[in-house]
């Protein structure tokens, strides 16, 4: 009986380790070739017209057609327009902008902030973010998932040029320019396409809209407030 229990414990340990390894590689697994330069479409003449294919990522360009330009992006020195209501804007360098990113598991973006501009609360469902401030002063922070005690803990830090902060994958985070001049930051991700969900836009601006009764109960406010917010974020 004792030997059986030990054996079961060993099997369970191996299973947990295997699960941990599979979860660790669940996002943008390591490539099996030098590169896979992304293309949006695959030539239908090269595949069975009756075969429907879904690809989690991008098709690969024929290696013999790959050029140096596929791995090159030159506009990250140009500031993005920050004249919008939020006072911030980003220049993404994801797989759609840099095809050579495909399967390599990395990407980045430049974020520009007008004075008091905000990069509003959002999440990246498929990537960890590492943010470095190049110019200006930012208040940056993230919120934990629901804790055992029912709380959501907030971590914030004031960042100056040269400072770095990391935002764990899937957690709500934000940045606010608390200076009187423009600010610039670079954000790097461990995914070729980390995705972004801006919380306010998703909750109040979804298409079709979320039933106001759901949001009224969730936010514990008057229904008129919810309907007002949906008009602000609606298309």
Confidence (pLDDT) at 45 = 52
Please tell me what DSSP assigns to residue 70: G
- pLDDT of the chain along its 235 residues, tens only? 455 555 554 545 444 444 444 444 446 666 667 778 888 766 555 554 444 555 567 888 888 999 999 999 998 999 999 999 999 999 999 988 999 988 888 999 999 999 999 999 999 999 999 999 999 999 999 999 999 998 999 999 999 999 999 999 999 999 999 999 999 999 999 998 899 999 999 999 999 999 999 999 999 999 999 999 999 998 6
Confidence (pLDDT) at 22 = 43
| Closest of 80, 70, 115, 102 to residue 187, by C-alpha | 80
Sole residue written with tokens 């009756």: 50
How many Å apart are CA 42 and CA 60, to the nearest integer? 8
Confidence (pLDDT) at 29 = 67
Judging by DSSP bridges, how do beta strands 129-135 and 88-93 pair with one another? unpaired
Confidence (pLDDT) at 39 = 82
R_g of the chain computed on alpha carbons: 22
List all residues 6 or more positions away from 39 whose beta carbon is below 8 Å from its beta carbon: 58, 59, 60, 61, 99
Beta bridge partners of 132: 164, 186
Identify the CATH homologous superfamily for domain 69-192. Jelly Rolls (2.60.120.10)
How many Å apart are CA 192 and CA 30, to the nearest integer? 12
Confidence (pLDDT) at 91 = 96
As given in the structure block, the two tokens for residue 43 are 């030539």
How many Å apart are CA 115 and CA 218, to the nearest integer? 33
How many Å apart are CA 51 and CA 145, to the nearest integer? 41
End-to-end CA distance of the chain: 66
Q: What residue segments make up the domains of the chain, in order of their start?
A: 69-192, 205-233
């Amino acid at each position: 009986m004792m030997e059986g229990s030990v054996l079961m414990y060993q099997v369970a340990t191996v299973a947990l380790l295997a699960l941990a390894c599979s979860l660790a590689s669940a996002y943008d697994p390591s490539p099996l070739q030098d590169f896979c330069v992304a293309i949006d479409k695959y030539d239908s003449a090269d595949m069975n017209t009756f075969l429907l294919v879904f690809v989690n990522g991008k098709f690969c360009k024929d290696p013999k057609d790959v050029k140096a330009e596929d791995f090159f992006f030159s506009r990250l020195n140009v500031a993005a327009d920050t004249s919008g209501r939020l006072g911030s804007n980003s220049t993404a360098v994801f797989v759609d902008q840099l095809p050579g990113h495909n399967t390599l598991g990395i990407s980045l973006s430049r974020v520009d902030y007008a004075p008091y501009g905000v990069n509003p609360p959002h999440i990246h469902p498929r990537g960890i973010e590492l943010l470095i401030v190049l110019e200006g002063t930012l208040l940056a922070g993230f919120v934990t998932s629901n804790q055992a005690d029912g709380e959501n803990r907030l971590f914030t830090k004031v960042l100056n040029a040269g400072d770095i902060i990391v935002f764990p994958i899937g957690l709500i985070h934000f940045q606010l320019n608390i200076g009187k001049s423009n600010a610039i930051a670079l954000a790097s991700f461990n995914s070729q396409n980390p995705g972004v969900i801006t919380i306010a836009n998703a909750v109040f601006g979804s298409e079709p809209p979320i039933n106001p009764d759901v949001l009224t109960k969730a936010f514990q406010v008057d229904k008129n407030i919810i309907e007002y917010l949906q008009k602000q974020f609606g298309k």
